[in-house]
A and B are shown apart, each in its own frame.
Chain A
Amino acid sequence: MSDTKDATLTPEVRRLHKGMAEVWANPRGLGALTVVNHTSVGLRFMVTGAIFFLIGGLLAMLIRTQLAFPDNDFMSHETYNQVFTMHGTVMMFLFAIPILEGLAIYMIPKMIGARDLVCPRLSAFGYFCYLFGGIILVSSLLFEMAPASGWFMYTPLSSGDYAPGRGSDFWLLGITFVEISALSAGVELVVSILRTRTEGMPLHKMPLFAWYILAMALMIVVGFPPLILGSILLELERATGMPFFDVAGGGDPVLWAHLFWLFGHPEVYIIFLPGAGIVSTLIPVFARRPIVGYGWVVAAIVIMGFVSFGLWVHHMFTLGIPQLALAFFSAASMLVAIPTGIQIFVWLSTLWLGRPVMSLPMLWIIGFLVIFVLGGLTGVMLALVPFNWQVHDTHFVVAHMHYVLVGGMLFPLIAGLYYWLPLVSGRMPSARLGKWSFWLIFLGFNLTFLIMHWTGLLGMRRRVFTYDTAMGWDIYNLISSVGGFMMSAGVALLILDVALHFRFGKKASQNPWNADGLEWAMSKPPTPYNFVSLPRLDTRHPLWDDPELPRTITEGRHGLSTIDHGRRETWGSDALTGKLREVVHLPTNSWWPFFAALALAMVCVCLLIRIYPLAAVATLVAVVLLLRWSWENGAHPRAAPDSTVSPGQPPLHSRTMNGPGVWTMSVTHLANGSLFLSLLFGWFYLWTVAPEWQMPETSPLSPSMLVGAGVSLTLGSAWLARLVRRLRRDNDAGLGGGMYLAAGLGALQTVLLAAVIWQAELAPTETAHDATLLVALLYVLIHALLGGLLCLLQGLRVGYGFVGVHAPLEPVVVLRFWYYHLVVYWVLFVAIWAMPTILGGGT
């Protein structure tokens, strides 16, 4: 049902709908590549994720076939090693994270009453990075060059000496590419949730799902950079021989394990939190009452988000770290039982105090509970160091992690799928097929993995391609395999059910589950602009408090219901109170994201086939494309040439000095800072722990040039800060020239840093010390260069009239960048020059 044809609406309202539809239109054909709208991008993420799930599932079935019988020669050991590595990799990186991000991208604006995410082009860019990265990674299977070092790629097994093929390169480059996508989605979800909620929705009244996604997005922002850094270092080691993880050169393979699990453990919670968010959304609906203990859940989310970063070593209990240190991590791991317990019992008391009804989505929630509780309890067992020493790296752990991930993520996801399907398609799923698929998947899953705990206790290691019948594991493995195939049949049935429902499903009513969420106030299937008018809300349950909301929204009786200016708009509101602050005008469809992602894909492919000059060219092209993309912002004719707003409305965000762009830059630097801290961690870790670490008596870096670069950076930041202060006082005289001066200081810093590197005569392929120094110096050099470039562009934009007193946002954003670099630079100066000079080098 399209709103423009709704006969009950007045002609005026119908004109409004038509205008919205035109401004927010998604082009078809080749132009579909330019679509930036969150509904389309979210769906693309989810469909792509589902396809990767099927690929990962197929790999799982190959594994179960191989292990069904002892001494099976269904697959060679080479194929098997590739298959299990890719199964883990695909499921974790190409299915779980992206599909949840897709769900968040799709749902969040609809739940908080926004028309789109805050950086729509970034969503599209993220999608293409994901798609290209995924294709690159999976293509390795077709070339029979897939990575075979296990999904956590422990060095030195994954490094050049022991994995000479291209498999590890496929992994490192493909995954890093996919992680760019995760990061970009993480950044914009944080800012969207905090800054674009509809009028009046205060932080403590936003839907719980938004809290979960906020936590997930922040965790992605902080948790992914360690692995990105690790991947860069390992790829550098493989490509050029810098010995970061090689003992002989002063590196340490355990550094990789730290960097990997610094990411890897939070990732489990990044996957679980959105799942729990779905549970917290569905339970009140089917218990027919508001959730009790909203505040308890918020506290539990915060605790989980943080504590999960203190657990990474529990994947490394057997690595020979002192037992006392292990005990800290063991205790911290057990602590997670508390926030988990709080959530389980909040859900229970909501059901207890409500009048719960059983339904298909609820069935999946029960399945989630049964499986996840068991996974959580075996998790507490594994947190106990002495027990962990026994079952680590056995099938017990394989069973545990499938209980947690399938229980904590897949079951809620399918519950959410059935719950929100009517919103996407306007039709109801079939109850009978759905139940069949539930029971097949549920029983199949438990048959596979419950028994697998036992197989593990009987001593079966993970990642073995065969086993001897004398071990007595035959029957258990056979049962697991049968269960696995049962589960596959269930998944097939699920796909069939979803496919059939698009054609045969009953038409859904406006609010088929009698839910409280704002997303059910929209037309079905949703229009790209979600709501024709944005309601003022001060409740956690908009549709229960005001069942008329769908009608009044459609009739355009709420805010921001003009379209004659031709802009895509949504509200920008105060992070805390939800008071209106600005009108956010959003960019429209664009080719830049697609081409920028394509250029980056070229970089990946060139690195993969080791044609480095071409990779450099492609990098340059990517940078130019990204900067060109940034050109179309603010007062640019393709963004928002005129700044008129309706009377009584707040100003356009690009005409303020604290628009969401400032927040986006800050959150991006949270990610960047996490990357920097990981690098710093690597430096100090190797310095103190690496067995063969070598450090020259005196630092090879020139202190005068280092300080010179730091001074030009400090002066540049102070100068920019002055320009911004003047802008704040409505004075943009000399802004353009001032920007060129700052650009000059950026250039000076770049040159000085390049000279430092040149003069130090580092031997990065000889020692890990020199290699780490080089990477650290390149890190600040890139920032200096980028800082200068951004100022240069700002100077140009002042000339074009895109920046000035009338549009002062961008200099504020650029200043944030300089401030970040200022802090990082001096910290690095202390770490790589001052401390070695004071403490002295030697071995």
Chain B
Amino acid sequence: MKQLLRLTHPIHLVSGVTIWGIWFVAIYAGLSVACSVAPPDPERDMLTGINIGVGLATLFTTLLLSGLTWASVAAGRRAEPRRERFFAYASAGIFLFSAGGTLFVGYPIIFLPPCL
């Protein structure tokens, strides 16, 4: 089990995109629930608590994934067998993609109101 936590294990090929996926589901579900429970006044346009909340979640996830990218590269440098290095670098690429993807997908909060 401990082996699974090491960034050279192939399970981390999917952990970056999994984090991305969880964040994605969370903001989509959160938005839908927030809009059906307490829709903000359209007058406020995009300056609402919902946008700020999504924005914070986005920034946090991006930072987390960027950190994991860096850790993965470091793990790849240290890894000895070619196999471990292969998986660490491949996972690093996917972490980086997920970090960029998070920021990219979260970006529209700065120009759209949440519930219209």
Contact = CB atoms under 8 A, between A and B. Distances in A.
Touch between A and B in complex, CB under 8 Å? yes
Interface of A: 202-204, 295-296, 298-299, 302-303, 306-307, 309-310, 322-325, 327-332, 334-335, 338-339, 576-577, 688-689
Nearest to B103: A331
B73 interface: no
Given A204-B83, A204-B86, A306-B21, 9 more contacts: A204-B82, A204-B87, A295-B86, A306-B14, A306-B18, A306-B20, A327-B108, A332-B105, A335-B105
18 contacts: A204-B82, A296-B93, A298-B90, A299-B93, A303-B94, A303-B97, A307-B17, A307-B20, A310-B21, A322-B31, A322-B116, A324-B108, A324-B109, A324-B113, A332-B24, A332-B105, A335-B105, A688-B33
B90 A338 contact: no
Contacts of B32: 325, 688-689
B87 A325 contact: no
Nearest to B36: A688
Contact of A335 (B10, B21, B89, B101): B101
A249 B24 CA distance: 31
A372 to B, nearest CB: 21
Q: Which 3 A-B pairs have the closest CB atoms?
A: A327-B108, A306-B17, A331-B105
Given A202-B83, A310-B21, A338-B97, A323 B116 contact: yes
A328 B89 contact: no
B21 A322 contact: no
Chain B, interface size category, equals: 35 or more
Nearest to B50: A324
Contacts of B94: 299, 302-303
A328 B83 contact: no
Contact of A309 (B21, B82, B108): B21
Interface in B1-40: 9-10, 13-14, 17-18, 20-21, 24, 27-28, 31-33, 35-37
- Which of B32, B51, B113: most chain A Cβ within 10 A? B32
A688 B89 CA distance: 42
Contacts of B18: 306
Contacts of B9: 576
A295 B113 CA distance: 40
Given A296-B93, A302-B94, A323 B112 contact: yes
B28 to A, nearest CB: 6
Given A307-B101, A577-B83, A331 B108 contact: yes
Given A325-B31, A332-B101, A335-B105, A689 B36 contact: yes
A448 B24 CA distance: 38
A310 B105 CA distance: 11
Contacts of A338: 97
Contacts of B90: 295, 298-299, 302
B14 A203 contact: no
Contacts of A324: 31, 51, 108-109, 112-115
A96 to B, nearest CB: 25
Contacts of A334: 104
Contacts of B114: 322, 324
Contacts of A689: 32, 36
Nearest to B104: A331
Contacts of B116: 322-323
Nearest to A297: B90
B100 to A, nearest CB: 8
A530 to B, nearest CB: 26
| Interface residues of B, dominant DSSP | helix
Contacts of B17: 302-303, 306-307
A223 to B, nearest CB: 13
Interface in B42-83: 51, 82-83
A296 B91 CA distance: 10
A579 B104 CA distance: 42
A328 B114 CA distance: 11
Contacts of A307: 17, 20, 101
A451 to B, nearest CB: 34
Contacts of B93: 295-296, 299
Contacts of A327: 108, 112
A202 B27 CA distance: 38
B65 to A, nearest CB: 13
Contacts of A203: 10, 83
A842 to B, nearest CB: 14
Nearest to B14: A302
Contacts of B24: 310, 328, 332
B103 to A, nearest CB: 10
- Which of B20, B87, B101, B104: most chain A Cβ within 10 A? B101
A760 to B, nearest CB: 27
A329 B112 CA distance: 14
A156 B10 CA distance: 44
Nearest to A309: B21
A338 B28 CA distance: 22
B35 A322 contact: yes
B109 to A, nearest CB: 7
Given A303-B97, A331-B105, A331-B108, A322 B13 contact: no
- Which of B31, B90, B106: most chain A Cβ within 10 A? B90
Contacts of B97: 299, 303, 335, 338-339
Given A302-B17, A324-B113, A335 B83 contact: no
A329 B115 CA distance: 15
Nearest to A334: B104
A328 B105 contact: yes
Nearest to A323: B112
B91 to A, nearest CB: 8
Contact of A295 (B14, B28, B89): B89
Nearest to A575: B10
Contacts of B109: 324
B68 to A, nearest CB: 14
Contacts of B31: 322, 324-325, 328
Contacts of A310: 20-21, 24
A322 B97 CA distance: 26
Contacts of B21: 306, 309-310
A667 to B, nearest CB: 14
Contacts of A323: 112-113, 116
Nearest to B33: A688
Nearest to B115: A322
Contacts of A306: 14, 17-18, 20-21
Contacts of B107: 331
Nearest to A322: B115
Nearest to A218: B14
A228 B114 CA distance: 32
A583 B45 CA distance: 65
Contacts of A688: 32-33, 36-37
A480 B27 CA distance: 43
B69 to A, nearest CB: 12
Contacts of A204: 10, 82-83, 86-87
A306 B9 CA distance: 18
A581 to B, nearest CB: 16
Nearest to B111: A327
A323 B113 CA distance: 8
Nearest to A325: B31
Contacts of A335: 97, 101, 104-105
Contacts of A302: 13-14, 17, 90, 94
A781 to B, nearest CB: 28
Nearest to B35: A322
A283 to B, nearest CB: 20
Nearest to B86: A204
A296 B13 CA distance: 12
A384 to B, nearest CB: 12
Contacts of B106: 328
B10 to A, nearest CB: 6
A323 B115 CA distance: 7
Contacts of A332: 24, 101, 105
A328 B27 contact: yes
A576 B8 CA distance: 11
